[in-house]
Copies of this chain bind each other. A is one copy, B any other.
Amino acid sequence: MHHEIGLISTIAVGLAYALIGGYIAKRAGLPPLVGYLLAGIAVGPFTPGFVADAKLAPQLAEIGVILLMFGVGMHFSLRDLLAVRDVAVPGALLQIALALALTWSVTHLWGWNLGPSLVLGLALSVASTVVLLRALEAQDMLESASGRIAVGWLIVEDLVTVLILVLLPALAGLLSGQSATDHSTIHNPSGGQLLLTLGIVLGKFVAFVLFMFLVGARLLRWLLERVAATNSRELFTLAVVVAAIGIGFGAAELFGLSFALGAFVAGVVVGESDHSHRAATELQPLQDAFAALFFVAMGMLFDPAILVREPLRVLVVVAIIVLGKFVATFLIVRLLRHPTGTALIIAASLAQIGEFSFILAEIGVTLRMLPAEGQSLIVAGALLSIALNSFLLYAAKAIQSRMASSVSA
């Protein structure tokens, strides 16, 4: 009627398209998120018709990530998480290294320098939390042993991504213009500077976790207790949303961590309180709405023209994500002495990329470490791997249950 209505139109039209896409996808037997992604392409700048606000969409997506990570955090107890650290930490670190090496060997053939190769490789190595959670939830495996390991694995990846994001500007000076063959960063003078930055990030993370568990846990418990005692439903809802978004924001603002990581830790803390059940119920509709907006925002980044311009490179990127990461993760989990079934599920659920990769790509482009083509490849790879992921996970689960039945028979 008047004023700016960019936010309202983005939410209204984005969700309307998401509903249509999600419904059709669901009827076709696909998970709704595939429909949301297609909806995102439809409201994106590369297709005709309505174009959503490209500045607001990523922020709505971020809120989706925050709410979802908070929800996962509530699901998991600290004990569950610590129980999987023997697999998750070495697994994630090994897998990132492998994905990097694989990408680098391919981009070497394309004649790319070390900088772009590194950024692309990192982007392809980290999986999307939201996709993983939705997929595990859809298959009812969030609470399974494999589900827990996969989530723990992703938390390590999240930490590594934050670390990389903080280090990239420092690395940028080092890497710009170096050819991929000229691989000698070991004797670099600013190695000490890198270590310092690394130490600061880790220090901040540890400080945040300590703060949350020593002070935050009590504070949040006290807060929820107090608010619940007022018997005001609206204040309780507000308290839960504040716990998720407020702490996510605080973690990003004060500790330099990702929103997602902050919200996850906040969720773990709230999950330990007596009100976790009610909190989860209150949060559900908000989570659903904003998770849909997350996928729409991801779809918006996709330029379908890349499929025509660079079909082979798109194929190679998808192969790295879906095949390369699947095989690598499977071998690593087996190496860490977990059963084949578990390894299959974890490998399948991590064979995709998403929001972290987009952030990496964007920073890479900003720092001139990644050509625009690299960003398009990452978005295309994300979209295709996410769409394929539910089939992959479905297949992995079918094989697992067949294996289980043949063992028990």
How many chain A residues sit at the interface, stated as a range, is 35 or more
Complex CA distance for A108 and B315, rounded to whole angstroms: 75
Q: Is the CB of B249 within 8 A of A19?
A: no
Q: Which residues of B contact A234 (CB under 8 A)?
A: 22, 32, 288, 291-292
Q: Chain B's nearest CB lies how many Å from the CB of A6?
A: 7
Residue in B8, B18, B227, B359 whose CB lies within 8 Å of A249: B8
Q: Is the CB of A230 within 8 A of B26?
A: yes
> Can you tell how many copies of this chain the complex includes?
2
Residue in B26, B162, B282, B285 whose CB lies within 8 Å of A235: B26
Residue in B22, B235, B285, B292 whose CB lies within 8 Å of A32: B235
Complex CA distance for A324 and B258, rounded to whole angstroms: 53
Where chain A touches its partner, the secondary structure class is helix
Q: Is the CB of B7 within 8 A of A245?
A: no
Q: Chain B's nearest CB lies how many Å from the CB of A68?
A: 11
With A230-B26, A282-B285, A285-B285 in contact, is A59–B6 under 8 Å at CB?
yes
Q: Which residues of B contact A288 (CB under 8 A)?
A: 233-234, 237-238
Q: Chain B's nearest CB lies how many Å from the CB of A32?
A: 6
Q: Is the CB of A252 within 8 A of B1?
A: yes
Enumerate 17 A-B pairs (CB-CB under 8 Å) in ascending A order. A1-B165, A4-B59, A6-B59, A7-B7, A8-B59, A8-B66, A12-B246, A12-B248, A13-B249, A15-B238, A19-B239, A22-B232, A22-B234, A26-B235, A237-B288, A241-B289, A286-B286
Residue in B1, B12, B253 whose CB lies within 8 Å of A258: B1
Q: Is the CB of A23 within 8 A of B259?
A: no
**Other A-B pairs, 15, CB within 8 Å; known A1-B252, A2-B165, A286-B286:** A4-B58, A5-B59, A7-B59, A8-B259, A11-B63, A15-B242, A15-B245, A15-B246, A19-B235, A32-B235, A233-B284, A237-B284, A238-B289, A285-B285, A286-B289
